Amino acid sequence: MAQMDPRMTALLTYLDAQARQRDASWPAILERTVQDLAAAHPHFDWTGIYLLEGETLVLGPYVGAPTEHQRIGLGEGICGAAAAERETLVVDDVGADPRYLACFVTTRSEIVVPILDGERVLGEIDVDSDQPAAFGPADRALLEQLAERLARLAPPPRAGGPLDGIGEAILARLDAKNGCREAVLAQSRHAVQHAARAIRAAHRADWDEAEAILAGGGEIMQAMQAAARGHADLQSAGYMLDAQKELAEAHLTLALLRDRPLPGPEQLGVADAAWLNGLGEAAGELRRAALDAIRLGRIADAEALLERMQEIHTYLSTVDYPAAITLNLKRTNDMVRGVTERTRGDLTVAVGQAELKAALARVEAGL
Ligand code: SME
């Protein structure tokens, strides 16, 4: 028996190595196989690999002239016959075989070796020669060894049946949505932290700091909306609206404390319901500012803050829509009513004490 070409020994060794430790892709392995086969055999005038997709053999890598037979149905031609029969076919004279599908006028003989995983046909190695009866037992044995190794390296079959295609498309879409959701979630946490820091700065009357933090919050909001684009469910998700509410609260607290016009929902890029709840929460922040003012004896400032809280409560009471639309605004407004009443009580006591103090001072002065 003739010695095997060293390039073929090397190819078999390469395929065995890939089976042990894979570092090449399936297409790269197929490409190298056809290249090496063609290079080592002068009588291989066209060497290609077809892969079975459903009921069709689809041409993969090849060496030789381009062929019109890129897709061959099972059972068609010598290629289709070899796949259907799961048998190597050697045709010494293609002109005498009625199954033969002519690719090139010069072709005289052909060998087709199926790549089989048990009963399953993965594809086949197809070689044409311009010489009649070009393929001997050594060629057949070599190609069968190669086919066997390729079968071991082939990627596992995709989930077949009615789910094929639809199932994969759904997984791809869910994968994309999950990525967007994670981005939105991370940014919403970031936005909430920004809002809290801005409100703390506002209570210290550090307006520049508060503005700077809110500018950063606006950028986060835009990134969040970009990540949610095309996903209506993410755009209206609780964490998205919460982040909008917190940022609206911070902007509105800052404007109310500085006696500036309130930025509207469009200006802030937040949903109406998020803005309304943010306004209610801002009233809660005004209570804290009012208590600070009372402590410092700035009764008039505290009264102005109480007046705004009352306005907010009165306005929110007019928003009478289902909780599903208003993000449970009623609960927020109940809180606003509570803090407004308590602030009124605190202020009444403070005013009474101030008057008492003044009266005592007058008595003292008169003594
Ligand atoms: N002759 C093949 C068609 C493929 S070409 O040889 C590249 C056949 O009869 O199936």
Is 124 touching ligand 1 by the criterion CB < 6 Å? no
In this structure, the answer to whether residues 121 and 245 fall within a common structural domain is: no
CA atoms within 13 A on the CB side of 13: 7
Residue 220 lies in a domain: yes
pLDDT of residue 156: 84
In this structure, the answer to whether residues 144 and 228 fall within a common structural domain is: no
Q: Cα of 273 to ligand 1 centre, how many Å?
A: 68
Is 350 touching ligand 1 by the criterion CB < 6 Å? no
In this structure, the answer to whether residues 26 and 65 fall within a common structural domain is: yes
**Strand-strand pairing, 109-117 and 120-129:** antiparallel
In this structure, the answer to whether residues 23 and 141 fall within a common structural domain is: yes
Distance CA 198, CA 208 (A): 10
- Our count of domains for the chain comes to 2
Low-confidence ranges of the chain (pLDDT < 70): 1-2, 158-161, 164
Q: Write out the E strands in the chain.
A: 46-53, 56-63, 71-73, 89-91, 109-117, 120-129
pLDDT of residue 166: 80
Is 84 touching ligand 1 by the criterion CB < 6 Å? no
Q: Cα of 99 to ligand 1 centre, how many Å?
A: 9
Mean pLDDT of the residues in the chain = 94
Q: Among 157, 180, 196, identify where a domain stops.
A: 157
Q: Cα of 103 to ligand 1 centre, how many Å?
A: 6
Is 275 touching ligand 1 by the criterion CB < 6 Å? no
> The CATH number of the domain where 273 resides is what?
1.20.58.2140
Residue 324 lies in a domain: yes
Residue 1 lies in a domain: no
Substitution candidate for ligand 1 out of 97, 100, 105 with most atoms within 8 A of CB: 100
Asked whether the beta carbons of 229 and 284 are under 8 A apart, the reply is no
In this structure, the answer to whether residues 212 and 127 fall within a common structural domain is: no
Burial bucket for residue 211 (CB in 10 Å: 0-12, 13-18, 19+): middle
In this structure, the answer to whether residues 11 and 149 fall within a common structural domain is: yes
**pTM, two decimal places:** 0.56
C-alpha Rg value of the chain to the nearest Å:
40
In this structure, the answer to whether residues 179 and 264 fall within a common structural domain is: yes
In this structure, the answer to whether residues 114 and 176 fall within a common structural domain is: no
Residue 330 lies in a domain: yes
Is 100 touching ligand 1 by the criterion CB < 6 Å? yes
Substitution candidate for ligand 1 out of 62, 78, 92 with most atoms within 8 A of CB: 78
pLDDT of residue 158: 67
In this structure, the answer to whether residues 117 and 179 fall within a common structural domain is: no
Residue 259 lies in a domain: yes
CA of 72, closest atom in ligand 1: 10
CA of 48, closest atom in ligand 1: 7
Q: Cα of 128 to ligand 1 centre, how many Å?
A: 8
In this structure, the answer to whether residues 175 and 305 fall within a common structural domain is: yes
Domain that holds residue 41: 6-157
Residue 337 lies in a domain: yes
Asked whether the beta carbons of 68 and 48 are under 8 A apart, the reply is no
In this structure, the answer to whether residues 171 and 153 fall within a common structural domain is: no
Q: Among 125, 157, 189, identify where a domain stops.
A: 157
Q: Among 157, 182, 215, identify where a domain stops.
A: 157
Q: Cα of 126 to ligand 1 centre, how many Å?
A: 7
Q: Torsions phi, psi of 57, nearest 5?
A: -85, 125
Look up residue 95 and give its DSSP letter: G
In this structure, the answer to whether residues 43 and 172 fall within a common structural domain is: no
- Shortest-distance Cα residue to atom 3 of ligand 1: 101
CA of 128, closest atom in ligand 1: 6
Q: What is the pLDDT of residues 215-273, one digit of tens each?
A: 999 899 888 988 898 899 999 999 999 999 999 999 999 999 999 999 999 999 999 99
> The CATH number of the domain where 76 resides is what?
3.30.450.40
